[in-house]
Structure 1
Amino acid sequence: MDHQPGGQVIQLQQTSQTLIGKYRRNRKLQSCEPCRKSKLACDHSVPCGRCIKRRCVDKCFYHPNPLTCNRQTTSPTVPAPSDSPSYSFGGSHRLVQSIEPPHGPKFGRPVRFSCREAPAVHRASSAPPLHHAHGHGVVHSEKQSFLGSTSVTSMLTEDLEKLGVPSMDLQTFSAQSVAISYDRITKGCEVLAFLKNNMMVNQFIDCFYGAWEGDVAFCIEPIMKMWLMELWRFHGDVLKSQNPDKIRQLCELIWRNTQSPLIYDGKTSPKQWILLSTGANVRWDVIGLMACYVATAAAAGDSSKRLLAEYQITREAVMSSMVDIAANCLTFCRECEILDDTFLWLAAEYYGFISFVKGDISSTVYRAGAELCSTFLAMGLHQDIRANAKVPPFLAQLRKQVRMVTYSTEISVSAFLGRPPRLSYRYINLDTGYDFTNAEILAEESEFAANVSKLLEGGFNSDGRAGAITFWKVWIPFAILREQILELALGNLCSGRADEIQQKAKEQWADVPAAYARCRDEELHVGAKKTGLTLYGHIIRQSTQANEFLLQRVRFQKAGASAEGLIKVAQQIFKDIIRISEDPELTKISSINTNHMVAIHGLRCAAVLAVELLRQEQLPVYPREPLLPRSQTIQDLSVFVSRLDLILKVEVLHGVFSMCEQGRKVLTRILDKILSPPNAADRPCQSCHTGGYQHAHSQSALDNFQDGMVPSDGGDYLGHTSFMFMDDFNLAIDAPYFGPDHDFRQ
């Protein structure tokens, strides 16, 4: 919108949609055949708005006429790129000022996008109709949300096909288009400013796929690399120069593309599908995914230090700017109301990153998770996903991977926070798909089918390879068990149900590949050469043990069971966490994953052990065989507290700061309570030691230790040896030891 001096707001003419470009002899634009035969006004676009409204897009065409002169348009020369490729994250105020529209009537002329690399391409049948000066219009598009068997729409159309009545012509789906105002153009230009230095963006994204092993991303590496290549090929010069007019026109093009749903079918190849979202078809969700991966790469720790130093930018500046850009892109897509796979990927990556930065307890993270789950359900990904006439095989596989990660993440976060989950295995088809590499996913249809035939039972690869997809396939059945444990924790406990969950967990290990099955019982070696199997092996070991920990805690809290089972599991997990935290080789693979295992799995086990140790210390009579060995537990807790101190110094782990800080304070207070000597008022008076038996007892003890431990300089033996009289030290007396000495004296 143009803000005139008088305060009047004028809507821009938005004519980015491709016109037919064919003129009649009277210099009027040619009309499509349906409009010409009906003698109705046509907007001369492909397809025209009237044909879209009448749902006859397939009949909208322009009859060739040899007398028509094709009007050729020339693209203006693109300004030379800027010499300086550097860009400071977080600052685009100068760019925003440079695109302020001049006051005057000339700004009201139509805005047409032109670029040296982008040829004139006719839009597909999904293109929105031309927006005129008055703004909003309605564009009919494909079905954009899932409607189940209990919906009214399903009741209106079910079984009509069997009765010979086509139902598609009877359905009405509409999406409200968005008027591209000046405010939206301005915000879009701010977002595009970070793409000025394409070399830096490429390097950070390479760093992301290297540091995070690539295949853990929702958008796999080959797709992102092709998106980047086509983006720079079509719009690289415009993005480098940041010419205000060109950037504004590019921004408008991206808005138009984002309002159009992706059109594909079961025969669409991976390359064709990728090109639907880049180059001349670039969209805001793709730009947002790039920003998310740049931010995640900056947070990757050591792997991004070189890039940060090379471009003289700080980690905080990159992360803050990229989060804002990703949030803006998510808002743009949300306003366009188009639900597709790329929007779901953006919602998932944004949710994952802000939970990493702010922590799962943040209200912002909670809302982002709600949007992810809502989008997941609205796209119908909870139902059976199959390759068919509408969905190509590679896209079905990608959707199954997204479903695995989305469901398991929601269950894990729900158990961590102790709240009901938004997604449930009861209403989701959790087919885990195939254990493929990125190259195998994007293979051609014939090769894809051949790769499927090589897989083992359950869809696991036959090469013995252990990657992220293998891990998720192994974990999904255990994630279902965690949801069942959460049901017991939030509802009414049934002891038979708890036993059933334990039995299912034992049976589930029989279906796990041998490489992961060994992780349950064998200790993973520390200090040896590490591979992806070692990292994922640690994660699956800790995650499955966490299920048993939570189940034992539910039994202890609700059924009054003994704490022995809970303490035993906590000891085993805590022992593994201490070993993981001391493994420098494993930290090199992924320090962030290692620190999160320490902060989450280690902290809750440490809390249980510390509280039990404190309770054990306060017993009136100290047990002969305590649940926790006092010395070893205190040593392990002290090591763990020092590890928490190191985590608190890692600047990128903002999300666990408050949790680690609280845990460090609680554990330190408990250790102080256990190790600190009693106050002077609580010490027994000296007269208590003057009794004949106790005096002889003390003197005998001193005599026994004098030769080897007490200096023979004639000094005060008691003063030099008082440090030995600890509450739990029985001086090698053969008599039964019933507890601390002061308890015995009392």
Structure 2
Amino acid sequence: MASRLAACEACRKSKVACDHKRPACTRCASNERAGICIYRTTPFKRKRAESATPSAQPSPSRVSPAQAPPLFARKNPYPNPGFLGSSSHVAIFNQISPETYHTSDNAHASEPDMATIMHSQVAGENLLMIQGADVLRQLLNTFPLAAMKDFVMFWLETGANMSLAEPFVEKCTENMTRLFTSFSQEDNWHLAYAQRLTQNSRMPLEIRTTADISDFSAQFLDQNFRWESLGIFLCAVSRATIAISFFPPLYKTEKDQFTLRKLSTSLSDLALDIALSLDCLNDLQLVLQYENFIIHTHVDGDQSFHSWSRLGNVVSSMFALGYHENVEKSKPPIPNFLAELRKTAWAITYSADKNVAIFLGRPPRMSKRFCHFQLPLNPPDSMISATNAWDRHTTWNEDTPFCYRAGIRWAALCSALKEDVLELLRDRQRENFNQKASAVREKAAVQWEKLPSKFKLSSTLKECSADAFKRDMLASIRLDQLHVIFLLHLSFIDSLTEPDPTIIDVSDQMLGLVIETILLRDQLVFSGTSVIWKIAHYGLPAAGIILLSMLKQSHTLTEARTSRSKTLMNLGIFVAQVQVGSMVRRGDPNYALISKATQTIERFLDSVHRDGAHIPAPPPSHPVENGEWDTFFSQDLCDFETVFWDNLADHPSLLASDHALPSI
């Protein structure tokens, strides 16, 4: 007698016949509802009556075993080792030929019970899945899915996107409404969807040499939708809430805006945690990891330990996947679109690692000594007449468009020079210090010269006639170039209290460009770095050097440097913009850093105006010999965070102002 088969949920609710095909029945597939063709795990089990009201929703902590999705055993109960290099034990044992030893039939007789091992491993994954299902239900019950899809599409229409996930954001967004077009009326519909997502996330992403990006994407869209796909969509929702302050279908108040951002970020975290718990590393998971890290820099702040640790996880996955090796020599060969994606992932992670390390004054995690330096958008070999690897990297195709990958390529080139400068800052007593510093300076000049002219900001940002995306990219490219020069000159300074005219000039240029991005932020579209990051990473160090030079009464101004009144005006604009709350407000993650710097700058400007536009001189009782100045600052020349501004605020020159500073 044939066993009885259950209909899928969609056919059962519609009370129509189902042919029971997997993963989607014929009726659902023909009606373009394959994404929601879900089969219940216990279709013929009678539900027990609940004492609670029918509308009550069980919390994930109280879900009974009958309600919870079943545990699915892994095909391989042991951890996925990932990439194993030439120094690993595997490389040694691979040299031992199988013919040199003999195995007996009883070799595995003493192994422990695999069912027990797999059950204990999957139990934690099941708990994560229930938590993810609960947040999924909360999000979709609070905010309409169709509106969230329109919200993300509206954000994409502005020209913005996510740097690494750009090829997949629109596809994942469109598939969301197909996946959730009709909800089951049962209390645990969210568990059924979570089960389906988990099943799909266990499937490896197959790579065929002849595949294109559409073939690759089909493995995680429609009925193959995964937690990674959902996570990318949710990252886009979170990013859109940061860029768009008013969207009536979803929110009209800051409270609702924050609620949507919090829920979408929480579910994105859970989607990533579930995917990682399955121990199935793949390209899509790495993309989600990076974009989730960027979300946390906005939600938790650039100084947050959570953001810092998530970047470390991205680096760990990068190494585990082996993408620090030459991806173009992968075996078997991979299609070109995937090679570009992996090179982009490496370049953007490498760049983020260097910039965050400099910003926080911490050691970088990635070193180009142990990586194959690879960049996206490499020109054809026929165009390159280079004598060394660096010449090949700095050669551009003149037809390179304004796109995220172009910005990533430039940022990685600058980050490589920043790594060299970090080594100079680490040990400046070496005999060949000047020679290495000159080599970095020459490389910086050459790579700027070889950059296509269309990527160079040749006028003020206001006078630039490019569109919003291009203008933001032009500003980011120029700031990265100035930052390399800034760090290089910083390496020559024995003390922060002795800035030379060259670094003051570079600081003026950096601060001026950051102020322009602040004033024109409504006319710029995110091209890789936010305005807040530009302020924290470029603007504050530049402002700190300028204040130090003025407090030191260093009047060695060059003709190339802007006038002192222009500099004072830029500092005043920065203070005013922070005070009115147009960039950062109390409670925002980066408020502490920016507000502390703002208070110090404001105190300095007050002292200048009070003394008749003269640079304030320290009181006679507080001499400013170098030894005295040095006590106010740490020995880390890259430290321009909160402690730097605390110390600067306590300088005697700024203590004369006894009136209370207005709250910011």
Q: TM-score, normalised by structure 1?
A: 0.64
SS at match of 1:178: helix
Q: Which residue of 2 aligns with 1:385?
A: 327
Does 2:123 align with 1:179?
A: yes
**Corresponding residue to 2:280 among 328, 338, 350:** 338
| Counterparts of 2:305 and 2:434, CA distance in 1 | 35
Describe the shift of the 1:580–1:369 C-alpha distance in structure 2 as closer, same or farther (beyond 3 A).
Answer: closer
Trace 1:675-694 onto structure 2 (pairs within 5 A).
Answer: 675-677=609-611
| Counterparts of 1:574 and 1:658, CA distance in 2 | 20
Q: Which residue of 1 aligns with 2:476?
A: 539
Q: Which residue of 2 aligns with 1:507?
A: 446
Q: Which stretch has the larger CA shift, 658-667 or 390-399?
A: 390-399
| Counterparts of 2:202 and 2:266, CA distance in 1 | 21
| Counterparts of 1:601 and 1:435, CA distance in 2 | 28
Q: Which residue of 2 aligns with 1:687?
A: none
Report the structure number with the largest CA radius of gyration. 1
CA offsets 1:550-576 (integer angstroms, 9 cap, x no match): 111221136998612211211222233
Does 2:178 align with 1:236?
A: no
| Counterparts of 1:307 and 1:419, CA distance in 2 | 43
Contact kept in structure 2, 1:455 and 1:462, CA below 8 Å: no
| Counterparts of 1:79 and 1:509, CA distance in 2 | 63
Deviation at 1:333, TM superposition (A): 2.0
Deviation at 1:651, TM superposition (A): 5.0
Deviation at 1:285, TM superposition (A): 2.0
**Corresponding residue to 1:466 among 387, 393, 402:** 402
**Corresponding residue to 1:354 among 283, 296, 319:** 296
SS at match of 2:215: helix
Q: Which residue of 1 aligns with 2:150?
A: 203
Percent identity between matched residues is: 19
**Corresponding residue to 2:234 among 277, 291, 294:** 291
Deviation at 1:282, TM superposition (A): 2.5
Q: Which residue of 2 aligns with 1:219?
A: 165
| Counterparts of 1:570 and 1:651, CA distance in 2 | 26
Q: Which residue of 2 aligns with 1:740?
A: none
| Counterparts of 2:541 and 2:222, CA distance in 1 | 49
**Corresponding residue to 1:478 among 400, 409, 414:** 414
Describe the shift of the 1:478–1:102 C-alpha distance in structure 2 as closer, same or farther (beyond 3 A).
Answer: closer
| Counterparts of 2:376 and 2:360, CA distance in 1 | 29
| Counterparts of 1:234 and 1:583, CA distance in 2 | 39
Deviation at 1:377, TM superposition (A): 0.8
| Counterparts of 2:297 and 2:606, CA distance in 1 | 33
Q: Which residue of 2 aligns with 1:440?
A: none
| Counterparts of 1:376 and 1:465, CA distance in 2 | 27
Q: Which residue of 2 aligns with 1:147?
A: 84
Q: Which residue of 2 aligns with 1:274?
A: 217
| Counterparts of 2:284 and 2:419, CA distance in 1 | 28
Contact kept in structure 2, 1:340 and 1:379, CA below 8 Å: yes
Q: Which residue of 2 aligns with 1:694?
A: none
| Counterparts of 2:526 and 2:83, CA distance in 1 | 41
Deviation at 1:674, TM superposition (A): 3.2
| Counterparts of 2:133 and 2:558, CA distance in 1 | 70
Trace 1:22-41 onto structure 2 (pairs within 5 A).
Answer: none
Structure 1 gaps of 5+ residues are 1-26, 28-68, 81-92, 113-129, 437-450, 684-746
| Counterparts of 1:232 and 1:452, CA distance in 2 | 44
Q: Which residue of 2 aligns with 1:496?
A: 435
Deviation at 1:491, TM superposition (A): 2.9
Deviation at 1:549, TM superposition (A): 0.9
SS at match of 2:76: strand
SS at match of 2:376: coil
Trace 1:660-675 onto structure 2 (pairs within 5 A).
Answer: 660-675=594-609
| Counterparts of 1:624 and 1:96, CA distance in 2 | 70
Q: Which residue of 2 aligns with 1:264?
A: 207
Deviation at 1:385, TM superposition (A): 0.4
Contact kept in structure 1, 2:504 and 2:545, CA below 8 Å: yes
Deviation at 1:415, TM superposition (A): 1.0
| Counterparts of 1:487 and 1:535, CA distance in 2 | 30
CA offsets 1:420-472 (integer angstroms, 9 cap, x no match): 10011111212213279xxxxxxxxxxxxxx9999998685554522221222
Deviation at 1:500, TM superposition (A): 1.5
Give the counterpart letter for 2:349 in structure 1.
Answer: T
Q: Which residue of 2 aligns with 1:550?
A: 487
| Counterparts of 1:242 and 1:460, CA distance in 2 | 56
Q: Which stretch has the larger CA shift, 200-209 or 655-664?
A: 200-209
| Counterparts of 2:437 and 2:227, CA distance in 1 | 47
Give the counterpart letter for 2:277 in structure 1.
Answer: E
Q: Which residue of 2 aligns with 1:59?
A: none
Give the counterpart letter for 2:220 in structure 1.
Answer: S
CA offsets 1:285-319 (integer angstroms, 9 cap, x no match): 222222111111111134x5344447997211111
**Corresponding residue to 1:645 among 579, 584, 599:** 579
CA offsets 1:247-294 (integer angstroms, 9 cap, x no match): 322222222332333233323343332222233333222222221111
SS at match of 1:305: coil
Does 2:331 align with 1:397?
A: no
Describe the shift of the 1:319–1:242 C-alpha distance in structure 2 as closer, same or farther (beyond 3 A).
Answer: farther
**Corresponding residue to 2:259 among 317, 340, 346:** 317
Describe the shift of the 1:159–1:200 C-alpha distance in structure 2 as closer, same or farther (beyond 3 A).
Answer: farther
Describe the shift of the 1:528–1:631 C-alpha distance in structure 2 as closer, same or farther (beyond 3 A).
Answer: closer
**Corresponding residue to 1:97 among 54, 58, 71:** 58
| Counterparts of 2:63 and 2:267, CA distance in 1 | 27
Describe the shift of the 1:524–1:430 C-alpha distance in structure 2 as closer, same or farther (beyond 3 A).
Answer: farther
Contact kept in structure 2, 1:141 and 1:261, CA below 8 Å: no
Q: Which residue of 2 aligns with 1:192?
A: 136
| Counterparts of 2:584 and 2:86, CA distance in 1 | 50
Structure 2 gaps of 5+ residues are 15-53, 102-106, 108-113, 386-391, 613-617, 620-664
CA offsets 1:595-652 (integer angstroms, 9 cap, x no match): 54244322221121112112218xxxx8899999654443332233223334565459
CA offsets 1:1-33 (integer angstroms, 9 cap, x no match): xxxxxxxxxxxxxxxxxxxxxxxxxx5xxxxxx
SS at match of 1:97: coil
| Counterparts of 2:218 and 2:509, CA distance in 1 | 50
Describe the shift of the 1:351–1:394 C-alpha distance in structure 2 as closer, same or farther (beyond 3 A).
Answer: same
| Counterparts of 1:412 and 1:208, CA distance in 2 | 27
Describe the shift of the 1:677–1:510 C-alpha distance in structure 2 as closer, same or farther (beyond 3 A).
Answer: closer
Q: Which stretch has the larger CA shift, 323-332 or 525-534?
A: 525-534
Deviation at 1:97, TM superposition (A): 1.9
Aligned residues: 544
Deviation at 1:191, TM superposition (A): 3.0
Describe the shift of the 1:452–1:279 C-alpha distance in structure 2 as closer, same or farther (beyond 3 A).
Answer: farther
Give the counterpart letter for 2:573 in structure 1.
Answer: V
Give the counterpart letter for 1:385 in structure 2.
Answer: V
Deviation at 1:98, TM superposition (A): 7.2
Describe the shift of the 1:408–1:183 C-alpha distance in structure 2 as closer, same or farther (beyond 3 A).
Answer: closer
**Corresponding residue to 2:504 among 561, 564, 567:** 567
| Counterparts of 2:383 and 2:345, CA distance in 1 | 23
Deviation at 1:201, TM superposition (A): 2.5
Trace 1:426-441 onto structure 2 (pairs within 5 A).
Answer: 426-434=369-377
| Counterparts of 2:216 and 2:242, CA distance in 1 | 30
Trace 1:587-598 onto structure 2 (pairs within 5 A).
Answer: 587=524, 593-598=530-535
**Corresponding residue to 1:250 among 179, 183, 193:** 193
Give the counterpart letter for 2:8 in structure 1.
Answer: S
